[in-house]
């Protein structure tokens, strides 16, 4: 993400610090950057960030909050596009997850790898829930298409697919492990989701149209 240098005197200090934090997270990880480094990159004094943020963790939580907003938009867009079946939709959402992690690494690391306590920040938790609700919706469609007696809990499936997506990102999409496998991260996730859903009896050789 290219950083546009700004200054407090132009009224953009908050945005400049966020952009600086994203840059530093991408370069050194979410645990290594400091508030003073963000201030230096934004071209302001070490004391200036405290006009907008209580400390480093406060800035990190704001980066994560903005990341979840963009993440939710990306998943929602994927959910609403393309093929007509619930399985098509869930595969698109998974692909969107991987694409977001690749294209917005600073956001992704702040969201999932920084150690911030999402549930302790109500605003942050709400945008997290908004993003997760997309996966809940597409999973609900898939479960609703199955016979009532075979329907597993929607939230369980959604959490499993979320965890599977995150695991693929960590092991294959942004890791050196990707160099020792012949399969792409997208193929690994797609096949893993298919195997998982088939094991739950949610496919059964049919792909009903979405309602």
Query: Mind listing the pLDDT tens digit for each residue in 101-111?
Result: 999 999 999 99
- When the pLDDT of each residue in the chain is averaged and rounded to a whole number, the result is 87
**pLDDT per residue as tens digits for the range 27-63:** 999 998 889 999 999 988 888 888 889 999 999 999 9
Query: Is residue 3 scored above 90 in pLDDT?
Result: no
For the chain, give the percent of residues with pLDDT over 70: 87
Q: Alpha-carbon distance 63 to 8, whole Å?
A: 18
Q: Where are the domains of the chain?
A: 1-53, 61-199
What's the CATH number for 61-199?
1.10.357.10
Q: Are 17 and 55 in contact (CB under 8 A)?
A: no
Query: Is residue 5 scored above 70 in pLDDT?
Result: no
pTM strictly above 0.85: yes
Give me 51's structure tokens: 């006009």
Instruction: Give me the CATH topology for the region 1-53.
Output: Arc Repressor Mutant, subunit A (1.10.10)
Query: Is residue 128 scored above 80 in pLDDT?
Result: yes
Query: Is residue 139 scored above 70 in pLDDT?
Result: yes
Mean pLDDT of 80-91: 86
**pLDDT per residue as tens digits for the range 160-191:** 999 999 999 998 877 555 556 788 999 999 99
Give me 177's structure tokens: 């492990």
């Amino acid at each position: 993400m290219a950083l546009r240098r700004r200054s407090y005197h132009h009224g953009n200090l908050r945005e400049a610090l966020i952009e600086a934090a994203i840059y530093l997270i991408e370069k050194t990880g979410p645990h290594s950057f400091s508030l003073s480094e963000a201030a230096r990159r934004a071209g302001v004094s070490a004391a200036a960030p405290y006009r907008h943020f209580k400390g480093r963790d406060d800035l990190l939580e704001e980066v994560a909050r903005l990341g979840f907003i963009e993440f939710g938009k990306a998943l929602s867009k994927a959910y609403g596009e393309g093929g007509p079946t619930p399985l098509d939709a869930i595969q698109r959402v998974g692909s969107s997850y991987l694409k977001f992690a690749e294209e917005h690494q600073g956001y992704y690391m702040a969201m999932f790898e920084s150690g911030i306590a999402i549930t302790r920040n109500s605003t942050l938790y709400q945008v997290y829930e908004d993003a997760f609700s997309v996966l809940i919706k597409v999973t609900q469609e898939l479960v609703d298409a199955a016979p009532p007696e075979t329907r597993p809990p929607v939230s369980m499936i959604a959490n499993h697919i979320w965890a599977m997506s995150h695991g693929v990102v960590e092991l294959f999409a942004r890791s050196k492990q990707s160099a020792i496998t012949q399969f792409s991260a997208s193929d690994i996730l797609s096949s893993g989701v298919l195997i998982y859903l088939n094991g739950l009896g949610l496919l059964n050789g049919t792909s009903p149209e979405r309602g």
